[in-house]
Structure 1
Amino acid sequence: MDIKVTKILLRERLADKSRHLEKITTSLRAEHSKSFSEQAMERESDEVKEQLKDSITTEINQIRTALDRIDSGNYSQCSKCDGAISAQRLAALPYTQLCIICAA
């Protein structure tokens, strides 16, 4: 696994997720319609957007942590058991902090 490529990919994903988060945040700040029935639908949509916002925020934090782990030199080290995180696991989930055993 090329750590430089991983770092680039993580930064790109971070930028993409940050843009997506900004769009959702802007959408949530938008004024609702005056029609009660339309407001009800908009509020349901807002609930979904809030959940999506939380999910994206969590992923952004995980990506930032992964980038910090790369910079500190412990990217492929499990944060729970200090064992190695396999290259296959990091390729599948590049911001994981746990080896497959600890994740189970």
Structure 2
Amino acid sequence: MKEYEEVRSHLIEMLEELDDRLVKITHDVKHEDVPLEKDFAEFATQSENDEVLDYLGNAARAERDRVQQAIARIDSGEYGICELCGDPIKKERLEAVPYSSMCVKCASQAGC
């Protein structure tokens, strides 16, 4: 675990950034600062914007889950090992995507 302390710190920072992003998205979706428009055209535009925000929120939550899982793998000593084949995940892949749980080969086969 000691070899991944820096990675763990980076993942914690990512988690904090994702939490901040989710708070902002949730705030925007609830229309706390700007009430919903009564004009139909404006309401339709706001609804489309809400759909985009919903998608971004779901993506952030999914990434947050992957980051939390990576931190758990570091803590359990399983970080850097492909969850499918058991081979080591290349350092370059972990640097590019620090929450990777699969090697490039397995991720490609799984469609990730």
Asked if these proteins are the same fold (TM beyond 0.5), I'd say yes
Tell me the distance in 1 between the aligned counterparts of 2:18 and 2:37. Answer: 28
In structure 1, the residue corresponding to 2:74 is in which secondary structure?
helix
Count of residues in Structure 1 that have an aligned counterpart in Structure 2? 103
Counterpart of 1:81, as a letter, is C
**Alignment partner, residue 98 of structure 2:** 94
- Give the residue type in structure 2 aligned to 1:20: R
Q: Give the whole-Å Cα distance in 1 for the aligned partners of 2:80 and 2:37.
A: 50
**Is 1:60 the counterpart of 2:60 in the alignment?**
no
The one of 62, 66, 79 equivalent to 2:83 is: 79
Give TM-score scaled by structure 1 length.
0.95
Residue identity over aligned pairs, in percent, reads: 34
Partner of 1:26: 27
TM-score of the aligned structures, taking structure 2 as reference length: 0.88
2:7 paired residue number: 6
CA–CA distance in structure 1, aligned partners of residues 65 and 74 of structure 2: 14
The answer to whether the aligner puts 1:38 opposite 2:39 as a matched pair is: no
Aligned partners of 1:43 and 1:78: how far apart in 2?
41
Cα distance in 1, alignment partners of residues 27 and 39 from structure 2: 21
Q: Secondary structure at the match of 1:89?
A: helix
Structure 1, unaligned stretches of length 5 or more? Answer: none
Structure 1, 7-16 or 29-38: larger mean CA deviation: 29-38
Shift of 1:61: 0.2
Cα distance in structure 1, aligned partners of 2:69 and 2:49: 30
Cα RMSD (Å) of the superposition? 0.9
